[in-house]
């Protein structure tokens, strides 16, 4: 299996990049441990409506916009977008792989019963794997 790209939380939004929406999650509380991890990792308890969270996947930038819904603990959801320079088109295949890396990172960080090996196996069962493994 190819080594997963490094996913890191970063502070600096790259200049001159636009936000390309990729994925919306409206129910982080479906398994609250996911919400709790993101809240802690991005300091949302102290600053819930600050700038979006930023992730770097092997040098490529992604933005996490946290969403609130009345009656639900914050954040109720998250929108993940690729940050793409200028008006250059999104590299969709790369973005798909990076989302997979972000999913693996998230599952690994949440931990407990959530297991990256199980996610990798789920990916193989459903034929969803990074490009280099296809």
Partner 1 sequence: MPRTIAELPEDIRRRYPYRSRFVRVNGRRMHYIDEGPPDARPVLLLHGNPAWGYLWRAVVPPLLDAGLRVVVPDMVGLGLSEKPHDHSAYTLDNHAANLVALLDALELRGATFVCHDWGGPTGLAALATRPQTASAVAVMSTWAWAEPWSQFHSRVLPWRLLHAPVVGPYLMGTRAAMPGRGMYLSVVDRERFAAEASAGYTEVMADADERAATWIWPRSIPLGRDTDIVAERFGWLEEQVRAMRLPATVIWGREDDVFTTDVFTRHWQQVWPHAEGPHLVTGRHFLQEDSGAEIGELLVDFVSRVNEGYNHG
C-alpha 117/C-alpha 55 separation (Å) is 22
| Smallest separation, CB 18 to partner 1 (Å) | 20
- Asked if 132 is part of the footprint of partner 1 (rule: CB under 8 A), the reply reads no
- Near partner 1 by CB under 8 A: residue from 20, 41, 96, 108: 96
Where does the chain show beta strands of DSSP type E?
A: 7-10, 17-25, 53-57, 60-67, 77-85
Nearest to 83 by CA among 58, 103, 54: 54
SS3 call for 56? strand
Instruction: Please tell me whether residue 115 binds partner 1 under the rule CB under 8 A.
Output: yes
Number of residues counted as binding partner 1 (CB under 8 A): 34
Judged by DSSP in three states, 50 sits in coil
**Count, residues in the chain:** 134
Nearer of residues 46 and 117 to partner 1, judged by Cβ: 117
Least distance CB 103 / partner 1 (angstroms): 5
Binding site for partner 1 (CB under 8 A): 22-32, 34-35, 78, 80, 96, 99-100, 102-103, 106-107, 113-115, 118-119, 121-123, 125-128
């Amino acid at each position: 299996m190819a080594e997963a790209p490094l996913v890191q939380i970063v502070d600096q939004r790259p200049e001159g990049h636009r936000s390309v929406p990729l994925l919306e999650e409206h129910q982080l509380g479906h398994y609250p441990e996911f919400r709790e991890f993101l809240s802690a990792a991005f300091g949302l308890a102290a600053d819930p409506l600050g700038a979006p969270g930023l992730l770097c996947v092997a040098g490529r930038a992604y933005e996490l916009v946290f969403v609130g819904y009345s009656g639900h603990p914050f954040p109720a959801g998250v929108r993940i977008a690729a940050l793409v320079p200028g008006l250059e088109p999104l590299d969709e295949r790369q973005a798909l792989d990076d989302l997979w890396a972000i999913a693996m990172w998230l599952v690994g960080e949440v931990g407990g019963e959530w297991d990256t090996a199980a996610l990798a196996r789920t990916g193989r069962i459903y034929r969803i794997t990074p490009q280099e493994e296809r």
